[in-house]
Amino acid sequence: MFIPKIYRSEDESLMKKIIDENGFALLISNKEKLFATHSVFLPNKNENGFFLETHISKANFQAKVLQDGDEVLCDFLGSNCYISSSWYNHKNVSTWNYEAVQVTGKIKIMTDDELYDHLTRMTFKYEKPQKCPFFVENMGENFVKNEMKGAFGIKIIPTEISIANKLSQNRNAEDKKRIIENLQEIGDAGSLQIAEKMLNLK
Amino acid sequence: MFIPKIYRSEDESLMKKIIDENGFALLISNKEKLFATHSVFLPNKNENGFFLETHISKANFQAKVLQDGDEVLCDFLGSNCYISSSWYNHKNVSTWNYEAVQVTGKIKIMTDDELYDHLTRMTFKYEKPQKCPFFVENMGENFVKNEMKGAFGIKIIPTEISIANKLSQNRNAEDKKRIIENLQEIGDAGSLQIAEKMLNLK
């Protein structure tokens, strides 16, 4: 991902937060052809460090062609919104503020045990906030193993991680204040999130 | 993009709506290496039909390697949210509902006149809703032409378009009702948008 230096982050905790909050992301590959799948990702770590996990349908083209060691690019787009140049007190061009993480890595196909464990942790993450959570433990092993027949689980071992945190760092204090005020007034989810992140930027 | 038939749409107006509402999308290429840029896209049409436009920084790797005729994949993700299996009255797995468009196409680098026109229309689209819109006409030709020196404008002529419209079409009326009620109760932007789209689904 191209990120001008002023917007580039090396903050590992920000990287994990963006991935954690935007788990429905994009799995991109170029085995045989350019192909991208919207899929739910889970961050994980082992003795070698951070890696990603996801699963897609076995009927998906990527599940048919991807093999251990193949390269993929995973794109996580977080909060983002339009920044109007009409908010500045001088002539300029409009832009878009956003946070995003891209992980390039090599895939490793999960074993059945790893896939079971992955589904257990992924279900826990998204079911815990529900009123009546329905965990993998509630489904019974036979049911889960039957569902697993249609799933292709992969781990993605990172070779390169890029973190974009574009929050008008190139603007002076007055412009930033105007941007934040305008975003708060617009009030949609993306604008409010970016306004808050701009306020909290160290 | 892999889309099971039940979630696949051929609706050109839906395709244009998703692109129009989610213009901040992803430009993916594999010239020399897998690379993806978050960029703002504008739909357009000429005598040969629909095509996309976008511009990126000339400092971006893609601007340095992409040439006329090279293939790119553009991904537009629209409304999306988690669908918990705890909302059904029977055992099942959770999923994600979403709408998305992917356009595979060949690029054509814009001439200076085309880029000027593209920036004019893009600025108009995003400035029109502002309190005090600042259009390209207000910037002056010299200013715009100077800014253009840093921009790489491309048209993407589609070779394949996929439209995903995954809205629990595989569920019965009772399940759909429960899903919509739960999404409305959760009440975040993605959940409310998906609930509304499920209600309006023909």
| Structure confidence at residue A46 as a pLDDT band (50, 70, 90) | very high
Which of B2, B82, B87 is CA-nearest to residue A122? B82
pLDDT in tens, B98-113: 999 999 999 999 999 9
Chain-centroid distance, C-alpha B184: 25
pLDDT in tens, A72-128: 999 999 999 999 999 998 889 999 999 999 999 999 999 999 999 999 999 999 999
What proportion of chain A, given as a percentage, has pLDDT over 70?
100
pLDDT of residue A202 exceeding 80: no
Mean pLDDT calculated for residue range B8-21: 97
Q: Which residue of B has its CA nearest to A83?
A: B126
DSSP B9-33: E--HHHHHHHHHHT-EEEEEE-SSS
pLDDT of residue A172 exceeding 80: yes
List of chain B residues whose C-beta atoms are within 8 Å of the C-beta of residue A4: 57, 59
Chain-centroid distance, C-alpha B188: 20
Q: Which residue of B has its CA nearest to A92?
A: B139
Report which residue type is found at B191.
Answer: S
Q: Please tell me what DSSP assigns to residue A69.
A: T
Q: Are strands B35-46 and B95-109 parallel, antiparallel or unpaired?
A: unpaired
List own/partner pairs for A165-168 with CB under 8 A and 24 or more apart: A165/A7, A165/A8, A165/A9, A165/A11, A165/A14, A165/A99, A166/A3, A166/A7, A166/A95, A166/A96, A166/A97, A166/A98, A166/A99, A167/A7, A167/A97, A167/A99, A167/A194, A167/A197, A167/A198, A167/A201, A168/A83, A168/A97, A168/A198
CA B168, B171, B172, B176 dihedral sign is negative
Q: Please tell me what DSSP assigns to residue B153.
A: E
How far is the C-alpha of B189 from the C-alpha of B186, rounded, in Å?
9
- State the pTM of this model: 0.97
List of chain A residues whose C-beta atoms are within 8 Å of the C-beta of residue B36: 1, 26, 28, 73, 75, 102
How many Cα atoms occupy the beta-carbon half-sphere of A116 within 13 Å?
A: 12
User: What's chain B's length in residues?
Assistant: 202
CA B185, B188, B193, B194 dihedral sign is negative
Q: Do A26 and B26 touch (CB under 8 A)?
A: yes
User: Does the beta carbon of B30 lie under 8 angstroms from any beta carbon of chain A?
Assistant: yes
Q: Count the neighbouring beta carbons within 10 Å of the beta carbon of residue A56.
A: 21
Residue whose pair of structure tokens reads 């039940």 in the numeric block: B6
Q: Do B59 and A2 touch (CB under 8 A)?
A: yes
pLDDT in tens, A49-62: 999 999 999 999 99
Beta strand spans in chain B (E): 8-9, 24-29, 35-46, 49-57, 71-83, 95-109, 151-166
Domain A5-170 is found in CATH 3.40.50.2300? no
B contact residues 85-144, partner A, Cβ 8 Å cutoff: 85-86, 91, 93-94, 96, 98, 100, 102, 104, 123, 126-127, 130-134, 139-140, 143
A contact residues 32-71, partner B, Cβ 8 Å cutoff: 34-38, 40, 56-57, 59-62, 71
Interface test with B, best of A6, A65, A85, A142 (most B CBs within 10 A): A85
